[in-house]
Amino acid sequence: MANHDSQLRTDTTRTTVQRRLEAIIRENRFTIAVVFPVIGAVTLVASAEGLLPEPLAYNPLLILFGTMVMRSPLVVGLLPKIGWWALGLLGLLTAYTYAIEIVGVRTDWPYGAFEYTIQLGPMLFGDVPLALPLFFIPLVLNAYLLTLLVLGEWSENPLIRVLSAIVAVVAIDLVLDPAAVAIGFWEFNPAGVYYGVPVSNYVGWVISGTVAVVLVDLAFDRESLLERVRECEFILDDLVSFVLLWGAINVLYSNWLAAGVAGLFCLGLFQTDRYDRDLIRQALPSSGLSGRES
């Protein structure tokens, strides 16, 4: 009986915390999904162009803070579906993320020869950012969740689901890497034909994306996850932030193909029927544009 009461209190506390976190996200959707990536794009480009003073240029704490804020809708949205099984597989994915990146930096396989040209926070073994899973795993999750929604009934087929998600993950990097190279996050040597990114990098992303997508697919029950994605209106807001941030940087540096891929993600998001003009008005702060139009 005591164990039952303790479990009941734990479940009640978890539900209360979850509801509060969701309320915070809903109250700040526009700030998180739009304001933060816009400010991020401006400050990163200003850093790359030497327009910011040293304490602010490429400030790792600001980069990590901004990234965590933009990731918050995804994390909060997925929390109810992360049990011990999912946590274990995501932990395995975290270990793999570190391992493949360290191998890549030290051996030039599978991405090609590259190096980080700025510090994105503390570095693990002096090779890769300690926050690497924060940067990489949400990209995979976003690609996977968008794939589930866009495919509809086709997502019931494991092969179609996994292959489509892998394509989406690689497409995300078609947006990310050209912009990251442009602002000096990392560089490839020799530079590749795709805005400085070599083809080998995308071969590497196919490998990493395949492992990551398979682990994510195993981590969650598809039907339960899809139900959560459909009922949680903000769960893909992190992908919105990604498109705005890296899409804008690609436009500013005339990386038109990369910007075009970002545009395709916009179309995919609109196809989910959760991002339209009315929703944008609802997400705006009450004292802002929505208040003037109401």
- For residue 228, the tally of other CB atoms under 10 A from its CB is 18
- For residue 293, the tally of other CB atoms under 10 A from its CB is 8
C-alpha–C-alpha distance, residues 163 and 215, integer Å: 13
Cβ proximity of 137 and 90 under 8 Å: yes
> DSSP secondary-structure letter at 192?
B
* pLDDT in the model for residue 294: 34
Q: H or E stretch including 124?
A: strand 123-124
C-alpha–C-alpha distance, residues 294 and 291, integer Å: 5
* pLDDT in the model for residue 290: 45
3-state secondary structure of 130: coil
* pLDDT in the model for residue 249: 98
User: What ranges do the domains of the chain cover?
Assistant: 30-293
Residue 128 CB-density burial (10 A; 0-12 exposed, 13-18 middle, 19+ buried): buried
For the chain, first and last CA: distance in Å?
53
C-alpha–C-alpha distance, residues 85 and 20, integer Å: 25
Q: H or E stretch including 21?
A: helix 2-27
Q: Which residues lie closer than 8 Å to 161 by C-beta, 6 or more apart?
A: 147, 148, 151, 154, 155, 217, 222
Q: What is the mean pLDDT of each run of 10 residues along the chain (294 residues)?
A: 61 90 97 97 98 95 97 98 97 98 97 95 94 98 97 96 98 98 97 98 98 98 96 97 98 98 96 73 52 40
Each residue of 25-67: pLDDT tens digit? 999 999 999 999 999 999 999 999 999 998 999 999 999 999 9
